Amino acid sequence: MQPAAHARRLRHVRAPSPLHFPEEALVPETKRHLEIRTLLYLVLKTFSDRAAIGSDQFVYWSASDPSRCLAPDAFVRLDTPDTPFGSWKTWERGAPELAVEIVSEHDADPQTWAEKLGKYHELGVMELVAFDPEAAPGERLRVWDRIDGDLVERVVEGERSPCSVLGLHWVVVPAAGHPAALRLARTPDGAELVLTPEEAERRRAEAERRRAEAEGRRAETERRRAEAELAARASAERRIAELEAELRRRGG
């Protein structure tokens, strides 16, 4: 018998009081914040074959208190199908291992950020990343790790740091028309960025264009070489003909 059918046959001392877990909230977002967040989401989306990826959806971790929630700019739950969802409930899907916050003007207040940091600790993320595009260079990237139940900030040098959850590297580089954006890279120096599908297609098209140009140059070189050989052969044949004619005149 299915659980729902079984539940309909049970009797209870009172009717349930349903809880509402909202899936939307009207929160202003600057264009820069939107573009940097979207870029990061598209990068993380390339890992959707092995993880569920979220961006700006509510994440709830208390089944009895809808106020216990956050809306990370990006989050990742490994080994979970990346199906469409309006909100994320940890008692149904588990807690995200990775969360990213692109710091807004509201978050920049130390007290506000301290409260948000406490919520991420309560949520249970393994790695929390904060990127502040307004901060001074060298101070824009901060990362926390869950160690022995505590959420501890790590030392970040040169605005580069490992992404422990994905086995990659966080880097701050110019992108999306902005002087600084948060990206993932396959190398610590950021030389090999994880590309969005659009970037990968542009790179593929550029590589194809360069290959076609190289093929064209090789074909042109081969054409000129063949023409030079034909010209040389024709010149040699003319010279031979001239010599043979000269010999005939002398012999006659």
pLDDT of 27 higher than 90: no
Per-residue model confidence (pLDDT) at position 63: 94
Average pLDDT, the chain: 89
Question: In the beta sheet, which residues pair with residue 193?
Answer: 185
Domain boundary among 194, 216, 238: 194
Do 93 and 139 belong to one domain?
yes
pLDDT of 252 higher than 80: no
Residue 160 lies in a domain: yes
Do 106 and 228 belong to one domain?
no
pLDDT in tens, 85-102: 999 999 999 999 999 999
Q: Looking at residue 130, which CATH number applies to its domain?
A: 3.90.1570.10
Closest to 29 measured CA to CA, from 142, 120, 106: 106
Do 107 and 214 belong to one domain?
no
Residue type, 93: R
- Please state the domain count of the chain: 2
Per-residue model confidence (pLDDT) at position 1: 45
pLDDT of 4 higher than 70: no
Do 51 and 112 belong to one domain?
yes
**CB-neighbour burial class of residue 37 (10 A; exposed 0-12, middle 13-18, buried 19+):** buried
Show the tokens assigned to 207: 């590589």
pLDDT of 228 higher than 60: yes
Do 38 and 144 belong to one domain?
yes
pLDDT of 17 higher than 80: no
Do 74 and 116 belong to one domain?
yes
Do 154 and 206 belong to one domain?
no
Do 162 and 250 belong to one domain?
no
Do 238 and 139 belong to one domain?
no
Residue 191's pLDDT band (cuts 50, 70, 90)? very high
Rounded CA-CA distance 213/216 in Å is: 5
Rounded CA-CA distance 212/159 in Å is: 38
Give the end-to-end CA distance of the chain in Å, rounded to a whole number: 119
Do 182 and 126 belong to one domain?
yes
Show the tokens assigned to 87: 């909100």
Report CA-CA distances (Å) from 39 to 49, 177, 195, 246: 18, 11, 10, 80
pLDDT in tens, 145-161: 999 999 999 999 999 99
Rounded CA-CA distance 124/106 in Å is: 23
Domain boundary among 176, 194, 212: 194
Structural domain range at position 208: 196-252
Do 190 and 201 belong to one domain?
no
pLDDT of 3 higher than 70: no
Do 188 and 217 belong to one domain?
no
Residue scoring higher pLDDT (1 or 9): 9
